[in-house]
Amino acid sequence: MKRYFILYIILLFPLKNSYSQTKYKTEVGECNFSASVPAFEPIEAKSDKLIGILDEGTGNIAAVIPIKSFEFPIALMQEHFNENYLDTKKYPKATFKGVIKDFLIKQSGTYQYQGTLSIHGEEQSISGELLILYENNTYNVSSQMTLMPEDYKIKIPKIVYKKIAETVIVQLKLNLAPTS
């Protein structure tokens, strides 16, 4: 019995290690996007309701944002965005889950990530680069991604086709602090 117990401890040892590492979280992450085309009125929106979480031990990262939280300078544009393009009532949030490759604990640097992004009820795998600055026990994560609305089945009618860019540039900023 004693031998089994020792074996169990040995087996659990690497896991215990990962347990001791902290999760880092924010609920006020920033996200903004731009789908502007030169010479037309800018199509831009921002939100500061991005929720993000990072597991230091595994390098796993996840984020979720309420679509409704995006604010446009023009109210009508916001209404169109929610009602005609993103179907916000049906798909209230966008989510991301993924892993940071070769993540080093408490190390600043540029990392590659790989994951799944879900917008408008459509899932797409996505990869890219993250810039991480570790300061004052906080991971400051920033990233930029380029998305194609058609990948997420967001239809843009012909009549406004020229006014909305084919690629949407999304910028993210998360200051992740340790969870207690």
Q: Strand pairing partners for 25?
A: 53, 177
Residue number, 12 or 104, with CB nearest to other proteins: 12
CB crowding 67-104: b at 16 or more within 10 Å, else e: bbbbebeeeeeeeebbeebbebeeeeebebebebeebe
CB of 93 to other proteins, least distance (A): 5
Residue type, 17: N
Residue number, 34 or 78, with CB nearest to other proteins: 78
CB of 169 to other proteins, least distance (A): 21
- Residue numbers at the binding site for other proteins (CB under 8 A): 1, 4, 7-8, 11-12, 15, 18-19, 23, 25, 51-53, 55, 57-58, 60-64, 66, 68, 74-76, 79-80, 82-84, 88-89, 92-93, 95, 97-99, 115, 157, 159-160, 163
Q: Is the Cβ–Cβ distance between 152 and 163 less than 8 Å?
A: no
CB of 127 to other proteins, least distance (A): 14
Residue number, 36 or 82, with CB nearest to other proteins: 82
Q: Which helix (H) or strand (E) holds 4?
A: helix 2-20
Helix ranges (H only) for 21-174 are: 75-80
CB of 80 to other proteins, least distance (A): 7
